[in-house]
Structure 1
């Protein structure tokens, strides 16, 4: 394997000059840069990226920690981040925390050990105190879907309370009064906020919230399936179902059909997130748009601006949810 010393000898320049070329230092003439580049190509030399980053104190990479690598929600977010950074010659190192505080911390420490220039964190279980302490360290980071008042300038969030409110308000305005709800895990802040928005809409229309009409799921399809079956057993009269995400909504749709219920004529359902498959299920699912791809792009822009001093658009930290109306919500029948 060729070495930097061989490149230096073949190009007829010093080791320091070869290093400056590899690190894109502006203080190198075009002619010299061409000589070094040709020498590297002739020898098949590949720079050691770790050694480069240690020498230049810049790895040209950002670390991304997400809750999961599977499912339809995280793909658009990761794609938005990676595409934005790659346009500026930066790479992304990705790991997952699986909504577990210890694994999230391990993921953060791993990314820092890889000499990432910055971190983009979608973390749910790790404490505010840990993140506040981390903010005083050397590695800058930005938070997705997490708000901490002390770190407000680096938190990119969606108004989940408003999203929950919009979903239930639409259901009520469509004529429904007996409404069931499948939440996400209520230890998670976004699940709490969406449920709070649901309750706000009920209260606004003087509809009493009934605990028997609440099932706590875990944001995956199977819990939507189980949630509908449990709710239907407790109260078979509800005419509408609000789900805290689209995966649980599709699970509930399958379960409802297995109970002999026609959709949407006998049961209206609305989801949350507006993931890609909501347009293709039957009936097409009404939902709340969560622009996670755009939020990912903004997180990447935060890194480009704060770490690499790139000129980007003003950073938008608060995003607004929007109601997406399709065919899964209709006026209720007088009875099933």
Structure 2
């Protein structure tokens, strides 16, 4: 497929210049003729991105998420909507479901609907494909992912640091046999979170025991199934780090059903700090993922990229932090 980059290379101009020509914006006559010639010779047909840029609508803010039924993404969308309301705009939502084709369609649809600003959560598309979108839609910002060369338009968190802190907390409480419940989705978040757990074990000189890491769907049911598997493999585990709070809730349910007291006999820590964490019994210790703050920052950044009257927010480094509640305690061997 011929891309706008190919046209730019053929014409000997920048991608931005090609976009200006395609959108009938001001540029030199020499550049215009070169781009038009390259378009004709290559048979390039502007896609939804270029069409959207030609018909920009600054009254809407698009947001692409994985699944609006997930509390994590519900908070993300709510935060984007609050920023949109603050600036007198409305939001349009696309859903990707961790599927490349659906993520692509969601972005393309929002562009066809003339969204000039987008906050995109994408895990299935390649870096290169997202770069192509970033180059053509100047008001697009990526959240929960960092792409080399576009760090200034990406908002992300150090997942590995988060699970390192979670595992470190358990180790400092005296736990030596610690399991990990992860997601079976093939995304970087899972790779990074598991690596944080493994790095902590290594740094504190603890062995990696076979079958102490189990993956399942990143929801309550997945947490239940994973905890059952861990108990089947090991009767002497005293603590578990989980991929997210929903999985931790499922794991807690299984522990309770097996008369294993949390935290007296078993410690459990989640990730994300979703509302459910403070409503469980006991209240869940977890790693705070400030998705509300990150989504607010990403939305304001996206708006500032296409409207010079909106001040660009000061770059902020978002960090995971431990939220200590009542599901973690000093080690007690069962």
Counterpart residue number, 1:314 = 314
Counterpart residue number, 1:114 = 113
TM-score, normalising length: structure 2: 0.81
SS in 1 for 2:331: coil
Counterpart residue number, 1:159 = 158
Question: How far apart are residue 174 of structure 1 and its match?
Answer: 0.5
* CA deviation string 1:197-252 (max 9, x = no partner): 11111111100112310001232111100000001000111000110110000000
Distance 1:102 1:198, change over 3 A: same
* CA deviation string 1:108-132 (max 9, x = no partner): 1110110101211011111111111
Counterpart residue number, 2:5 = none
1:245–1:271: 8 Å Cα contact kept in structure 2? yes
Structure 1 runs (4+) deviating above 6 angstroms are 53-56
Counterpart residue number, 2:45 = none
SS in 1 for 2:57: coil
Identify which range, 289-298 or 274-283, moves more after superposition: 274-283
Identify which range, 111-120 or 129-138, moves more after superposition: 129-138
2:264–2:332: 8 Å Cα contact kept in structure 1? yes
TM-score, normalising length: structure 1: 0.81
2:58–2:117: 8 Å Cα contact kept in structure 1? no
Counterpart residue number, 1:284 = 283
| Aligned-residue CA RMSD (Å) | 1.7
Counterpart residue number, 1:28 = none
Distance 1:102 1:203, change over 3 A: same
Counterpart residue number, 1:17 = none
SS in 2 for 1:281: coil
Q: What is the alpha-carbon distance in structure 1 between the residues aligned to residue 97 and residue 143 of structure 2?
A: 15
Q: What is the alpha-carbon distance in structure 1 between the residues aligned to residue 54 and residue 85 of structure 2?
A: 22
Distance 1:138 1:75, change over 3 A: closer
Question: How far apart are residue 135 of structure 1 and its match?
Answer: 2.0
For these two proteins, the number of residue pairs brought into alignment is 282
Counterpart residue number, 1:48 = none
SS in 2 for 1:117: strand
Q: Does residue 214 of structure 1 match 2:213? A: yes
Q: What is the alpha-carbon distance in structure 1 between the residues aligned to residue 320 and residue 257 of structure 2?
A: 32
Gaps of 5+ in 1: 1-52
- State the structure with more CA Rg: 1
Question: How far apart are residue 139 of structure 1 and its match?
Answer: 5.2
Distance 1:258 1:137, change over 3 A: same
1:119–1:139: 8 Å Cα contact kept in structure 2? no
